[in-house]
């Protein structure tokens, strides 16, 4: 690392991860520390906003300190502080925002407010820079798919994306009208007593079931064809369970196993009958096919060459395989961040803040958290 390389400290606290990272030139991750609150929210089956804020307060100082230490720098070496401004839980965002602001002011360094969703988009480019992989060609269509969001954007830039300080422009193409895809995973996992969060365990168990066993219809929607809806499939799983009372004893057995702390895929799989594994595989298949089909269609209509898939659910193996195959079929390339960069982290926030830094676009100390901060206007 040369001392001339601009160094950005990123801070992220929009949901249930307190994270800090140090990134040089918007492309090299020198450290990335994530303190997850999963253990705190697990017993509620979802994120409890008050508990999240309290935990962020406890974690923010040690997490930032650890990120600085792991990067082998001192706070005075930081050239700017990039902090998530929104969207997210207001109390959670305020912790990172207030701390980031105070830090920037006390260091006399610029403050950069970053949209969390822009962070997810930049995670894909950061991955390519870190691994020496191909940089996605712009314009691209980006699917952001997580526990809080399922959104489709057109991403463009006046400069090629290989020029790292390129400022991106975003156009909203579509989004979920109800649940986010990750939320559907978490709710279905809760109904089936598979633990929290549901995505990783459903991902693993789905490999052992028949995805064609149960047909879940595609959601019928009027209006924007690029919108998503996942509440119907969640309700379909609920009706299926109400109809198949014979599945109740194994659900009770899994609840007991979870209460004993037995939450590994192997432990839970041994408590799943084949019809349950088939239900899990069919649910995942329906969600994945809907995400892939609508995104590919949007990419074709937008005449782009690259498809970016990011956010927690982008870690899903079936989703990646299907996107790769379908993108290839239509002559496009699909790009994903690594698992660590797919879920919430602060390296993506620092990377997203770098183009603003390079272009001298700084925020003042009046910057405030915005729980509904939009990434772009609708197309």
Binding site residues, Zn ion, CB under 5 A: 146, 344
Q: Mind giving me the DSSP string for 319-356?
A: HHHHHHHHHHHTT-EEE---HHHHSS-SHHHHHHHHHH
C-beta of 68 vs 280, nearer to ligand KG4: 280
C-beta of 80 vs 315, nearer to ligand KG4: 315
C-beta of 189 vs 271, nearer to ligand KG4: 189
Q: Which does 127 bind (CB under 5 to 8 A by kind): Zn ion, ligand KG4, none?
A: none
H or E stretch including 94?
helix 90-107
> Alpha-carbon distance 350 to 83, whole Å?
8
Q: Which does 315 bind (CB under 5 to 8 A by kind): ligand KG4, Zn ion, none?
A: ligand KG4
The site for ligand KG4 (CB under 6 A) is made up of 15, 146-148, 182, 185-186, 197-200, 203, 311-313, 315-316, 343-344
Q: Least Å distance between CB 315 and ligand KG4?
A: 4
Query: Which of 352, 299, 350, 301 is CA-nearest to residue 326?
Result: 299
C-beta of 38 vs 330, nearer to ligand KG4: 38
Question: And the tokens for 358?
Answer: 């390079």
For residues 174 and 227, is the Cβ–Cβ distance under 8 A? yes
Q: Which does 93 bind (CB under 5 to 8 A by kind): ligand KG4, Zn ion, none?
A: none
Q: Least Å distance between CB 15 and Zn ion?
A: 6
C-beta of 290 vs 344, nearer to Zn ion: 344
Q: Least Å distance between CB 121 and ligand KG4?
A: 13
Q: Which does 353 bind (CB under 5 to 8 A by kind): ligand KG4, Zn ion, none?
A: none
Q: Which does 299 bind (CB under 5 to 8 A by kind): ligand KG4, Zn ion, none?
A: none
Q: Least Å distance between CB 122 and ligand KG4?
A: 14
> Alpha-carbon distance 44 to 113, whole Å?
31
Q: Provide the edge-to-edge strand list for the sheet that holds 140-145.
A: 168-175, 150-157, 140-145, 306-310, 333-335
C-beta of 59 vs 146, nearer to Zn ion: 146
Cβ neighbors of 146 (< 8 A, separation 6 or more) are 120, 180, 181, 182, 311, 312, 313, 343, 344
């Amino acid at each position: 690392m040369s001392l001339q390389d601009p160094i950005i400290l990123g801070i992220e606290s929009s949901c249930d991860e307190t994270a800090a990272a140090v990134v040089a030139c918007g492309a090299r991750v020198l450290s990335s520390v994530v303190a997850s609150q999963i253990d705190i929210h697990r017993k509620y089956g979802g994120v409890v906003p008050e508990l999240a804020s309290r935990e962020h307060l406890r974690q923010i100082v040690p997490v930032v300190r650890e990120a600085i230490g792991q990067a082998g720098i001192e706070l005075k070496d930081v050239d700017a502080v990039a902090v998530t401004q929104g969207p997210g839980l207001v109390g959670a965002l305020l912790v990172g925002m207030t701390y980031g602001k105070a830090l920037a002011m006390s260091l006399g360094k610029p403050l950069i407010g970053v949209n969390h969703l822009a962070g997810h988009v930049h995670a894909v480019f950061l991955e390519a820079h870190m691994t020496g992989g191909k940089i996605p060609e712009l314009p691209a269509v980006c699917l952001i798919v997580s526990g809080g969001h399922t959104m489709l954007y057109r991403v463009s830039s006046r400069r090629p994306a290989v020029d790292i300080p390129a400022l991106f422009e975003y156009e909203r193409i579509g989004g979920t009208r109800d649940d986010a895809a990750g939320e559907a995973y978490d709710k279905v996992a809760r109904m089936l007593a598979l633990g929290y969060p549901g995505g990783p365990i459903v991902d693993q168990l789905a490999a052992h079931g028949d995805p064609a066993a149960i047909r879940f219809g595609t959601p019928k929607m009027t209006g924007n064809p690029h919108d998503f809806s996942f509440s119907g499939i969640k309700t379909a799983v609920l009706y299926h369970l109400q109809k198949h009372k014979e599945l109740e004893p194994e659900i009770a057995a899994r609840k007991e196993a979870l209460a004993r702390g037995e939450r590994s895929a192997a432990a839970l799989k041994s408590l799943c009958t084949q019809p349950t594994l088939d239900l899990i595989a069919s649910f995942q298949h329906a969600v994945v096919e809907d995400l892939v089909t609508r995104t590919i269609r949007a990419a074709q209509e937008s005449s782009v060459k690259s498809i970016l898939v990011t956010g927690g659910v982008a870690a899903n193996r079936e989703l990646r395989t299907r996107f790769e195959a379908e993108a290839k079929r239509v002559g496009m390339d699909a790009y994903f961040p690594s698992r660590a960069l797919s879920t919430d982290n602060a390296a993506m926030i620092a990377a997203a803040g770098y183009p603003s830094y390079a272009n001298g676009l700084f925020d003042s100390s009046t910057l405030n958290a915005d729980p509904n901060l939009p990434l772009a206007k609708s197309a």
